[in-house]
């Protein structure tokens, strides 16, 4: 164990004293928080107008009944003549909306019999590239729909002011987190492992420093374990920062579109998530270390790993596509996919209690197997010193 600790100390010291590597690991999590927060503020600014904003609406042949309805809303209605330049008022931004009623609209509506002849036609011109114009269009169509329903009110739907949406804050949070976070976490973890493992093994092969380690009286198994454990600690540090960046920024990203809060999860949930993250990082680091030991340079290792990254993302996308392993315990034996299933189940609060131990044990078994293979690779001069 003394030799393992020596290798770990070497790797951790090299990482935590290298500013460039620190930035490559921790900066993404900070940028995620800043980016998602900025995106949330930007989207709210683009699609939601100020509470004090009043929509300017140009109306041709104004309907007295509709005008009365509009008087109770934040709308400034102006009567204009119908001509070829009327639509230019909206195009230029002079008005948010142009509404053209047919002549004698109110009397035509009163005398119209449903299913007989042509119904009175109201034309509404708007600019979908303008947030205020789009909102004014939605408001106007809602007013007209309400007016039409009042004229022939046979029944009402949810009209008593009661909230009929049964979705709770917890259900909204679990749905959103179970769809997004497994993909984001798996991507962050694999990217973090890619940022450190190739440099530690393929980089040392490329520089020739790996030969110095291999000729020391340190067991190759201790060398493999020391590198993988130290690299796992480094990758986990970056993964935790990225995870916190996502968790803290999602409420800002969603804004008024939904109430999301990580407080719906308890200590047990977070411990299970941490256990899955740890075991998954061990698998990623072990696999990436194998590829790095086979490659002759960091560039070559990165080219191989970019292909593996695609498979990791495809497995992670299953949560967004609505697919999963259900109650099948065998699904928790599939590398990478088992971690996606476990994370999705925990975030949705529907995880398979028997599947989580299978997931953790299988990940540890895969990591142990790859550490054994890596030890054999370190023993092979043909692999470690080939050019």
**pLDDT tens, position by position, for the chain (387 residues)?**
677 777 777 778 877 777 777 776 677 667 767 766 766 555 555 544 455 678 999 898 888 888 888 888 888 888 888 776 778 888 888 899 999 888 888 888 888 887 777 888 889 999 988 888 888 899 988 888 888 877 766 556 666 666 666 656 677 777 777 887 888 888 888 887 888 888 888 888 787 777 777 777 778 778 878 888 888 888 878 777 777 776 776 666 555 445 556 677 788 888 898 889 889 988 998 899 888 888 888 888 888 888 888 988 888 888 776 544 455 788 899 999 999 999 888 888 888 888 899 999 999 999 999 988 888 887 777 777 665
State how far the alpha carbon of 167 is from the alpha carbons of 96, 161, 162, 256, 260, in Å. 34, 17, 14, 15, 12
Is residue 166 within a helix (H) or strand (E), and if so which, with residue range? none
Positive or negative, the CA dihedral 249, 250, 251, 255 is positive
Please report, to the nearest 10 degrees, the dihedral formed by the alpha carbons of residues 328, 333, 336, 339 taken in order. Answer: 60
State how far the alpha carbon of 313 is from the alpha carbons of 104, 167, 177, 180, in Å. 61, 30, 17, 12
Q: Quickly list H helices, the chain.
A: 2-16, 19-47, 64-70, 86-91, 105-111, 131-151, 169-207, 210-214, 220-254, 267-294, 298-316, 337-348, 355-379, 381-384
Kindly report whether the global pTM for this prediction surpasses the value 0.75.
Answer: no
Task: Determine the Cα–Cα distance for residues 79 and 27; give it in Å rounded to an integer.
Answer: 56
Which pLDDT value is given to residue 361? 96
Query: What is the strand order of the sheet 97-100 is part of?
Result: 75-79, 55-60, 97-100, 123-126
b/e burial code for range 230-262 (CB count within 10 A of at least 16 → b): bbbbbbbbbbbbbbebbbebbbbbbbeeeebeb
Record the tokens describing residue 302, joined without a space. Answer: 């990165």
Is residue 333 within a helix (H) or strand (E), and if so which, with residue range? none
- Going from N- to C-terminal start, the domains of the chain cover 2-42+168-384, 55-151
Positive or negative, the CA dihedral 107, 109, 110, 115 is positive
Which pLDDT value is given to residue 369? 92
Pairing state of beta strands 123-126 and 97-100? antiparallel
Task: Return the SS3 of 87.
Answer: helix
Record the tokens describing residue 261, joined without a space. Answer: 């809060």
Q: Does the domain spanning 55-151 belong to CATH 2.10.109?
A: no
Task: Determine the Cα–Cα distance for residues 316 and 321; give it in Å rounded to an integer.
Answer: 10
Which pLDDT value is given to residue 160? 63
Task: Determine the Cα–Cα distance for residues 173 and 169; give it in Å rounded to an integer.
Answer: 6
Which pLDDT value is given to residue 48? 47
Task: Return the SS3 of 125.
Answer: strand
Q: Are 226 and 379 in contact (CB under 8 A)?
A: no
Task: Determine the Cα–Cα distance for residues 80 and 137; give it in Å rounded to an integer.
Answer: 18
Task: Determine the Cα–Cα distance for residues 317 and 185; give it in Å rounded to an integer.
Answer: 12
Bridge partners of 76?
Answer: 56
Residue in this structure with the two tokens 């600019």, named with its chain if needed: 127
Task: Determine the Cα–Cα distance for residues 280 and 356; give it in Å rounded to an integer.
Answer: 12
Give Dmax over CA atoms of the chain in angstroms.
101
Residues in CB range of 364: below 8 A, 6 or more apart = 279, 282
State how far the alpha carbon of 179 is from the alpha carbons of 44, 154, 172, 174, 222, in Å. 22, 41, 11, 8, 39
Look at residues 221, 207, 346, 364 and name the one whose alpha carbon lies nearest to residue 285: 364
């Amino acid at each position: 164990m003394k030799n393992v600790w020596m290798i770990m100390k070497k790797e951790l010291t090299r990482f935590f004293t290298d500013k460039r590597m620190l930035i490559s690991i921790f900066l993404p999590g900070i940028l995620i928080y800043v980016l998602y927060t900025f995106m949330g503020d930007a989207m709210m600014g683009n699609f939601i107008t100020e509470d004090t904003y009043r929509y300017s609406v140009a109306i041709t042949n104004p309907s007295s009944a509709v005008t009365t309805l509009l008087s109770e809303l934040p709308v400034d209605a102006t009567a204009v003549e119908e001509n070829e330049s009327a639509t230019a008022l909206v195009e230029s931004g002079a008005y948010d909306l142009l509404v053209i009623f047919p002549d004698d609209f109110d009397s035509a509506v009163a005398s119209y019999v449903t299913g007989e002849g042509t119904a009175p036609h109201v034309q509404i011109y708007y600019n979908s590239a303008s947030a205020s114009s789009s909102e004014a269009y939605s408001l106007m169509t809602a007013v007209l729909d309400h007016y039409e329903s009042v004229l022939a009110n046979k029944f009402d739907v949810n009209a008593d002011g009661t909230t009929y949406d049964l979705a709770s804050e917890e259900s909204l949070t679990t749905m959103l987190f179970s769809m997004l976070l497994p993909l984001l976490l798996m991507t962050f973890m694999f990217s973090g492992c890619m940022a450190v493992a190739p440099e530690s093994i393929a980089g040392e092969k490329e520089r020739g420093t790996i030969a110095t380690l291999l000729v020391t009286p340190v067991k190759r198994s201790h060398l493999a374990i020391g590198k993988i454990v130290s690299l796992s600690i480094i990758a986990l540090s970056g993964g935790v920062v990225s995870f916190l960046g996502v968790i803290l920024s999602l409420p800002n990203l969603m804004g008024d579109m939904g109430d999301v809060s990580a407080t719906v999860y308890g200590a047990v949930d977070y411990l299970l998530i941490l256990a899955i993250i740890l075991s998954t990082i061990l698998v990623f680091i072990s696999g990436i270390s194998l590829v790095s030991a086979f490659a002759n340079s960091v560039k070559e290792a990165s080219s191989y790993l970019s292909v593996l990254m695609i498979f990791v993302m495809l497995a992670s996308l299953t949560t967004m596509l609505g697919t999963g392993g259900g109650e099948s315990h065998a699904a928790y034996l599939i590398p990478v996919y088992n971690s996606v299933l476990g994370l999705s189940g925990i975030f949705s609060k529907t995880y398979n209690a028997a599947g989580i131990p299978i997931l953790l044990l299988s990940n540890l078994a895969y990591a142990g197997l790859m550490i054994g293979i890596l030890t054999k690779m370190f023993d092979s001069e043909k692999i470690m010193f080939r050019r």
